[in-house]
Every structure is written in C-alpha cells, then in structure tokens.
Amino acid sequence: MKFKNTGINHKLIFLGVFLILFILNILYILIQEEFIPGYGGEFGNIARSIAAGRGFSNPFGMITGHSSWVPPLLPYLIAFFFVLFGDTLMAFLFLSVIKMLSFALSFLMIVKSLKVSGIKVYPVWLFILFIFYFFMFPNSNFLHIEDLWLNVFIISLFIYAISYYTYDKSTKYFVYLVFISFISTWINPSISMAIMVALLFVFFRLHYTDYLSEAHTDIKKHPFFGFVRSKHILDFIKRYIVCFVFFILSLSVWGYRNYLVFNRFIPVKSNLWFEFYLSNIIDKDGVLSYSTSPKAHPSLGVNVGSVMEMGEAEWLKTFEDTGREFIKNNPKLVLWKVKNRLINATVYSETIKDTEIIRNHDLFSENDLKELFNNKLIFDDIWICLDLDEKEFKSAIKDLDLNNKIFIYDEWKAAKEEIIKRSRTLPYVLKSIFLSPLPLLCIIILLFVRKIRKLYLFQASSIVYILYLIPFILVSHFTRYQKSLFFIQILMIYVTSVLLYELIFHKLTKARTNQV
C-alpha cells in the first residue's frame, strides 16, 4: 500500500541523522585528552580472542578458556574488523560508522512507524528528544562499541516491522519478524523473550480482530469459541509457529555449541547466577552499583585466577549453588532487594557512579593502601565503599591495621559528600527522570487514550518495555540495562507530548474562534 506524501523525505532524514551523529562522534573523540577505544569489556576481549584464532573465549583479557559470558553476535562483528585492521583506530572507526548508521536507521524506522500508525510526525521535535537521550550517555555512545546500539536497533526494527505488518500483512514484514525472532537471541536474550511474547499477543489480536470483522452468526453469543473453530486461528498459529521455530533454532544453534564446549545446555549466556551474586549478595541494596564490580568481577582481575583454574562453566556453577542457598536462607532480604530494583527500574533510576578518585592518594601510606585494598574499600586509586554510611565505614576500618584512621576517615567523608552533591545536580536528576519514571508515566497516560491504546505500535512497545525489565528486576538491574529501552522511552514521551500539544493547540484555536 502507498501512503500519502506527508512532505517527509525519509532518505534526507536518514542521511542527515547519520552525518550529524558521525560528525559529533569525531568531535567528541577529538576533545578527549586521551582516547582509548572501548569495546564493551568482555565483548572486546572475546573478539580479540576470536581474531587471534583462539575462538569464543577469554572474556576477561586473560587465558580463561571457552566462554558463553555474552551473546555471540557483537563479539563476532568486532572480531571481523579486528581481523581486517587489527585492534586499531581504523577498526574502531569502521565500527563507529556501522553504529551511527544503525542509530540513524533506528530513528528513521521510528519515524515511519509513527507515520503508518497515524500519529503526526514532527521530525525536529523527535530528533531533539533523540539527541537529548544520546547525550545523556555520550561516552557509551561515542567512545565505546558496546551492545546498546544493537539492542536499540533490534527493538526499533521490531516496532517498525509490527507497525507495517499489522497495517497490510505483507509477506515482506512477516519475513522481518521471522528474522528478528532468530537474530534477537544472539543480541540480547531478555529482549528476544519479550519480543516473542509481544508477537504472540499481536498475532492473536490481529487474527481475532479479523474474525470479528466478518459476519458470523455466533459472534455475539460465543465470539471466542467461534474464533477457535474458524480458519483465523489456524492462520494465527501458523504465523506464530514459524517465528517460534526460528527463535528455538537460534537458541539451539548456540546452545549446541555451548553443549559441545561445556557439556551442559546453556541457551545463550551463562552468567545469570553471577549477576545474581553481585546484586544480591555483594551489593548493599540490590541495585548494581559501579563500586560492586571491583569487589568480585573477574573483568577487573578479581577471582580471575579461580576462573583460569576451574574453567568458566564450573566456576559459574559455584555461584548457582551459592545463589540458591542464599535465596533459601534469606528470602526477605532477596525480596527487599527485588523491591529496590523495581523502584530503580520504574520510579527513579540511580545513574550516579558511586566511586570517586582518592584525592590525596600520595599522602596515604603504602600500608594503609594495602589494608584498604585487601578489605575491598578501595580499588587502585578509587573509593569503592561510598555506599556505606558513616557508622558502617567506621566499623569497617575499626579493626584494620591503619597508620592514620582519622585522615582516612576525613578523605572518605569528603569523597562521600562529593558523590551526594553530584547526585543532586540537574544532569543526574534529569537522567534519572527520563530513564524510568517519565516513560512509564507516559505509558500509563497513553493507556487512557483510546485511539493510542488500540495501536499495535503502542501495545507491542509497552509489552517489550515491561517484559524486558522483569528479569533484571528479579536478578540484577542498573543504568546500563535501562538504556537499551532508549527508543521506546523516546517513543512514549514523543507520543504523549504530541497529544498534549494538539490538545492545547485545539483548545486555543477553539477559544480564538469563539472570540471572533
């Protein structure tokens, strides 16, 4: 089907967004005092291992053996450019071009999804929201090739394919949905599972609506039973089964690789129980903090010797046993931390880094630095205990063999006050509001707008938004996981703001007409 010309040049939008992002990327790199390309930690380490011929292994930068720590797509993509150019600036620049093309295409797909759903498109306003979100985390977006852009792309592609498929049911967009069902598991399993549930809902509603639109004599009395006996339910089942088969095929391919390597079934990635350990046993309030990883994460050198000795799978099995025992013995504590993660994901996101450089590092004695490090209060030259309150910190250093406890306490207190002060500044408050409460509030508002809540665009996006967050609320949540919902957050804020604008504009126009 053809749409009326709305005056929006899609090619110009795509090219313009790409060029703006790429130029900003180059400029942001140039203003850095020291630029070291980032590849998402474990993603980059595995890519280096693949490029060196050692296979999908060594996620922590040391020879720890075979791995299933992260989904496979991004490491293989990075490794491809490492093979071509080595671990060089040229590899990073090519990947940056792909990333910015992906963001530009994601933006265009959202524009077209809004258009086909009958929502007025104001490209400039949508771009302002987009660039605002983009600059909330400039280091992630400009200096690192991590998985955020892939997560954003697959969600945007899903919204686009759903919006168009439900409009004309063309084979082209159904093929897109099949492709998404397959490839999304290799990008992010949480997104993939949310998409499969959203697909089930959309396919059912689409075919049930088609059935109701036909003139059946038994619709009014028993609409659902009539649907079950109709050809429409077969169409619904066939389409969903095709997508589901490709979803299972994707899991099976990588799961089979993992079974051959580890002699156990790991569908995509293996570190769920380690994430649980970090957030629920190590972290104080259950919301994963920047200061938590240096206390236990092998990517920072902690426990990496155990991984080398035992192998990744056996090492991670110890955390599964520990985690199950912890849940059994501390159910109330686990629920309290789940509640904190729920608040973080929906009410107010904690975006501040709770680490701070030790101001007068040279004034600390070697003995004091060693004692603080051994007791996981500092890591290299940063404080990693600023989540403690005053009483807890004094208790932590009480029995340590320190030369100058008063000086250490004063330095800790100054760093703590700096973190608190920074967390109350406008940029961090805006980040926290835009990441969680505002998008959710917009979803709730739009539920009360009949013409919006009936849209497949809104329904599919809302389902993915909510279901994606559930595993992270239950296991481990922090800012990085929330950022993957980037475009759905923009979408909900945009639609709500357009509705409010049109409502106000309509009332003002009506008031002027009445005056005349």
Q: Is residue 265 within 8 Å of residue 328, measured between CB atoms?
A: no
Average pLDDT over residues 45-50: 96
pLDDT at 485 over 80: yes
* pLDDT tens-digit map of 65-95: 999 999 999 999 999 999 999 999 999 999 9
* pLDDT tens-digit map of 152-203: 999 999 999 999 999 988 999 999 999 999 999 999 999 999 999 999 999 9
Q: Helices 486-515 and 426-435, interaxial angle, to 10°?
A: 90
CA distances, 160 to each of 115, 164, 193, 379, 444 (Å): 10, 6, 18, 45, 22
The span from the CA of 223 to the CA of 235, in Å, is 17
DSSP 4: P
Residues sharing a CB contact under 8 Å with residue 286, sequence separation 6 or more, in sequence order: 279, 280, 336, 337, 338, 340, 341
The span from the CA of 4 to the CA of 2, in Å, is 7
Of 2-6, 35-39, 389-393, 420-424, the poorest mean pLDDT is in 2-6
CA distances, 48 to each of 77, 86, 221 (Å): 11, 9, 64
Phi and psi at 226, nearest 5°, equal: -65, -40
Nearest CA to 314 among 67, 54, 2, 61?
67
Q: Please give the full DSSP string across 280-341, using - where no structure is assigned.
A: IIISSSSB--TTTHHHH-GGGTTTHHHHHHH-HHHHHHHHHHHHHHHHHH-HHHHHHHHHHH
> Tokens 């313009």, residue?
16
CA distances, 241 to each of 203, 350, 356, 458, 459 (Å): 11, 40, 51, 23, 21
* pLDDT tens-digit map of 317-349: 999 999 999 999 999 999 999 999 999 999 998
The span from the CA of 244 to the CA of 199, in Å, is 9
Which pLDDT score, from 0 to 100, does residue 220 have? 56
Which pLDDT score, from 0 to 100, does residue 384 have? 93
Strands 382-383 and 378-379: antiparallel
Query: Does 198 or 34 have the greater pLDDT score?
Result: 198
List the beta bridge partners of residue 383. Answer: 356, 378
Q: How confident is the model at residue 511 (pLDDT cuts 50, 70, 90)?
A: low
> What 3-state DSSP class applies to 217?
coil
CA distances, 229 to each of 215, 218, 232, 235 (Å): 14, 11, 8, 12
pLDDT at 147 over 80: yes
> Tokens 């709305």, residue?
6
The span from the CA of 311 to the CA of 297, in Å, is 15
CB atoms within 10 A of CB 360: 10
Which pLDDT score, from 0 to 100, does residue 299 have? 87
Which pLDDT score, from 0 to 100, does residue 290 have? 87
Residues sharing a CB contact under 8 Å with residue 71, sequence separation 6 or more, in sequence order: 147, 185, 186, 187, 188, 189, 254, 268, 269
The span from the CA of 312 to the CA of 59, in Å, is 10
Which pLDDT score, from 0 to 100, does residue 508 have? 60
* pLDDT tens-digit map of 6-33: 567 889 999 999 999 999 999 999 999 8
Which pLDDT score, from 0 to 100, does residue 211 have? 81
* pLDDT tens-digit map of 215-227: 554 555 567 667 7
The span from the CA of 393 to the CA of 408, in Å, is 10
Q: Using a pLDDT cut of 70, give the percent of the chain over it.
A: 94
Which pLDDT score, from 0 to 100, does residue 490 have? 95
Average pLDDT over residues 470-499: 94
Q: How confident is the model at residue 496 (pLDDT cuts 50, 70, 90)?
A: very high
Phi and psi at 132, nearest 5°, equal: -65, -50
Structure-block tokens of residue 146:
């991590």
Structure-block tokens of residue 86:
């080595």
